[in-house]
Amino acid sequence: MLTQGPRGTKDILPGEVDAWLYVEKKIRELCERFGFQEIRTPIFEHTELFQRGIGDTTDVVEKEMYTFTDRGDRSITLRPENTAAAVRSYLQNKLYADNSLTKLFYIGSMFRYDRPQKGRYREFHQFGVEALGEQSPAVDAEIIILAVRFLQSLGLKDLELSINSVGDPKCRPVYREKLQEFFKDKLDGLCDVCRSRYDRNPMRILDCKSGECQRLSVGAPEITDCLCDECNEHFEKVKEYLTAAGISFTCDPRLVRGLDYYTKTAFEIKYSPLGAQSAVAGGGRYDGLIEEIGGNPTPAVGFAVGLERVMLALEQQKLFNAEPHKADAFIVALGEKAQSVGFKLLVELRDAGLKAAMDYAGRSMKAQMKQANKAMAHYAVILGDDEIAKNVAVLRDMESSAQTEVPMEEIIKKLTDEVKG
């Protein structure tokens, strides 16, 4: 029996890769324009990086990590996200040394052991950016604008951008207490998960999908009423910058992110036609993470986009049409001698920069012409015993069916001139 790919993983097949390349090209163009440089970090890291970075009580760390002990008895984890890893690399390689603001981007696979469904996978890809070393709210706005522009550049419309401030270690404890006070006599009605969140991370109760928990959180205090002056001012500035840039957004005081490292700005972009998994991008500021991981206190902000969700949206809205892969020339070789002359010509045509193909199975003329059509070849180069004897080939324009006999030594030049114009 065939061994199937693991649950929650997907092969990206040749017919689908074009759309990925198109999206990756857009990412690279846009990041270049915004001054972000690509970084590639390993797919696995020491487990403690994510435990310290993302937070021990988050769903990601508690339930979703692919963690194993390697042969050297180290605990290793396949990265569930890349912010902690980018920060690790930033510190380890002293990327802060020559710049006060370091702007990085990445594209790569992440791994989370979650229940797979449409738009949610165990191996998925993110495009993310991290801007490290600057506390100005202008950077928050800059990266939000980058996320929006990226999705718009693919033709996605009606994106819903929600922003919030989740405070900082000065004001969040005040809010936590207020929330605990609010939920104190509602504990029995909350789901099991939220009951355990009450002590550890009560803000996550606001994010619960259970209808009963949602009903019980109606009227809960809002973080934006508890922000300290610094967080409040920062949030106001981010909004000002976004408004000035013409970016529409909604303030959602209940927006809580699933990872613990956020401070001040948090945001999400939804694309509702995707249904249940409509969050295409999420991010925010994480001014405490770099210190948590062992560096000097350094402000930072970033986001990540789920690329499978972007692909689903492109497919759903028919926003990408792959250009067909057309061969410039297909060599139709009839007979053994023609096969070897044809093979040499094939190599030379490719070396000359042309897209060339041929049949190796010694099929009939009709079958090889069919293949030439399938390859959408511009020209068929027909070689049989007669042509070999005369040291020529017949060039057939596959569209007009016009045929000309061309001396062998002129074929490469003739095809190059014709195809490259």
Site for ligand HAM in 201-220 (CB under 6 A): none
Instruction: Give, in order, the Cα–Cα distances in Å from 178 to each of 183, 215, 258.
Output: 9, 18, 20
Nearer to ligand HAM, 202 or 306 (CB): 306
Phi, psi of 210 (to 5 degrees): -65, 135
Q: Is 264 in the site for ligand HAM (CB under 6 A)?
A: no
- Is 89 strand, coil or helix? helix
The span from the CA of 139 to the CA of 286, in Å, is 12
For residue 286, which of 103, 101, 144, 83 has the smallest C-alpha distance? Answer: 83
Q: Binding segment for ligand HAM among 144-152, 200-208, 276-284, 336-344 (CB under 6 A)? A: 276-284
Backbone phi, then psi, for 148, in 5-degree steps?
-65, -45
**Shortest CA distance to 352 belongs to which of 400, 417, 404?**
417
Q: Among the candidate windows 21-29, 126-134, 247-255, 410-418, which touches ligand HAM by CB under 6 A?
A: 126-134
> What residues does 128 pair with on adjacent strands?
106, 304
Task: Return the residue of 26, 120, 337, 355 that touches ligand HAM, per CB under 6 A.
Answer: 120
Q: Mark the segment that binds ligand HAM (CB under 6 A) among 121-129, 172-180, 224-232, 245-253.
A: 121-129
Residue 366: CB atoms within 10 A of its CB come to 7
Q: Give the one residue of 124, 175, 267, 379 binding ligand HAM; rule: CB under 6 A.
A: 124
Tell me if 78 sits within 8 A of 283, measured CB to CB. no
Residue 13 near residue 48, CB atoms below 8 Å: no
- Alpha carbons 330 and 333: distance in angstroms, whole number: 9
CB of 369 vs ligand HAM, minimal distance in Å = 45
For strands 160-165 and 263-270, give the pairing: antiparallel
Give the CA dihedral 156, 160, 161, 167, nearest 10 degrees: -150
**282 part of the interface to ligand HAM, by CB under 6 A:** yes
359 near ligand HAM, judged by CB under 6 A: no
Binding flag, residue 298, ligand HAM (CB under 6 A):
no
Min dist CB 112 to ligand HAM, Å, is: 5
Contact pick of 114, 207, 230, 418 for ligand HAM (by CB under 6 A)? 114
Give yes or no for residue 126 binding ligand HAM (CB under 6 A). yes
Q: Does 83 bind ligand HAM (CB under 6 A)?
A: yes
Residue whose C-beta lies closest to ligand HAM: 306
315/160 Cα distance (integer angstroms): 19
Helix (H) or strand (E) holding 220: none
| Closer residue to ligand HAM, CB minimum distance, 167 or 282 | 282
Q: Under the criterion CB under 6 A, does residue 308 sit at the interface with ligand HAM?
A: yes
* Closest CB 267 distance from ligand HAM, rounded Å: 9
Q: Give the nearer residue to ligand HAM in terms of CB position, either 292 or 418.
A: 292
Can residue 128 be called a binding residue for ligand HAM (CB under 6 A)? yes
3-state secondary structure of 353: coil
Of the ranges 31-39, 158-166, 248-256, 279-287, which one interacts with ligand HAM (CB under 6 A)?
279-287
Binding segment for ligand HAM (CB under 6 A), chosen from 275-283, 317-325, 360-368, 390-398, is: 275-283
By CB under 6 A, residue 258 contacts ligand HAM: yes
Of 107, 46, 91, 142, the residue nearest 296 (C-alpha) = 91
By CB under 6 A, tell whether 303 contacts ligand HAM. yes
Binding segment toward ligand HAM, per CB under 6 A, in 34-42, 163-171, 245-253, 299-307: 299-307
Nearer to ligand HAM, 281 or 375 (CB): 281
What are the contacts of 85-88 at 24+ separation with CB within 8 A?
Answer: 85/41, 85/42, 85/45, 85/49, 86/39, 86/41, 86/128, 86/130, 86/132, 86/302, 87/53, 87/130, 87/132, 87/289, 87/290, 87/293, 87/295, 87/300, 88/41, 88/45, 88/49, 88/293
Q: How far is the CB of 158 from ligand HAM (least distance, A)?
A: 17
Which residue from 296, 303, 300 is spatially nearest to 134, judged by alpha carbons? 300
By CB under 6 A, tell whether 302 contacts ligand HAM.
yes
Judged by beta carbon, residue 264 or residue 309, the one nearer ligand HAM is: 309
Chosen residue from 223, 279, 375, 381 binding ligand HAM by CB under 6 A: 279
> What's the CA gap between 10 and 75, in Å, rounded?
26
Stretch that binds ligand HAM, among 66-74, 173-181, 221-229, 302-310 (CB under 6 A): 302-310
Residue ranges in contact with ligand HAM by CB under 6 A: 81, 83, 112, 114, 120-121, 124, 126, 128, 130, 258-259, 279-284, 286, 302-304, 306, 308-309
